[in-house]
Amino acid sequence: MTKAEKTKRFIVEKTALLFNVKGYAGTSLSDMTSATGLTKGSIYGNFSNKESVALAAFDFSVQRVFDGLKKTQRMEASAFENLSALFNFHKENWQDIALNGGCPLLNAAVEADDNLPFMKAAVQHSFILWSKRIVYLIEKGVKEKEFKATVNSEELANTFIMLIQGGVLLSKMSSDSKHIVTAVQRIHLIIKEELL
């Protein structure tokens, strides 16, 4: 990486947690300079504005979550095992997610919905990628005759995402893992009753 690329990466890494915890509106330029130890000129010499820093920080935070999800997947595992691991990740890592401000997709979605049109497309894209991964695993299971052929994979994928996001939100708000545990248990029940 060039020096400029390293500086950009440094700014993104240092501001990602800030944006996830405080949100776009709650994060000031002085917050960004304090977090990075850089001047306003250094930050805006690498990014055109606060919006571009926030978008890069969001992409970085989401990629960290997706990287964690990818690590749960094993090539030799069945579709059922990989699907289960995908959801167990949230149950097993909810404290780390909570300590880092909560799920970056959920946080950005809430803030972007009405107030941040520049962020909305990036958030939508991230949810679509997540849904497509779940759909892929379900359809792989159907193809390998592990799952029923009559399932609506897209509908199930979105239902699973809703359950996970709701569980993460309630667990973070109450500082109690029972909600994410309940959400994952419900997903496993749906998999057993509607997929297997």
- Could you tell me the residue ranges of all domains in the chain? 1-54, 72-195
Residue with tokens 């709701």: 166
Residue 7's nearest CA partner among 33, 51, 38, 50 is: 38
Strand, coil or helix: 68? helix
Helix intervals (H) in 27-152? 29-36, 40-46, 50-71, 79-99, 104-115, 117-143
The candidate with the shortest Cα–Cα distance to 116, out of 196, 171, 49, is: 49
Q: Does domain 1-54 correspond to CATH entry 1.10.10.60? A: yes
DSSP 91-103: HHHHHHHHHTTS-
Tens-place pLDDT, residues 67-125:
988 888 887 889 999 999 999 999 998 888 888 888 999 999 988 888 888 999 999 99
More confident residue, 18 or 102: 18
What is the third-level CATH fold of 72-195?
Answer: Tetracycline Repressor; domain 2 (1.10.357)
Q: Which pLDDT value is given to residue 74?
A: 84
Q: What angle do CA 11, 17, 23 make, to 5 degrees?
A: 105
pLDDT above 90 for 186: yes
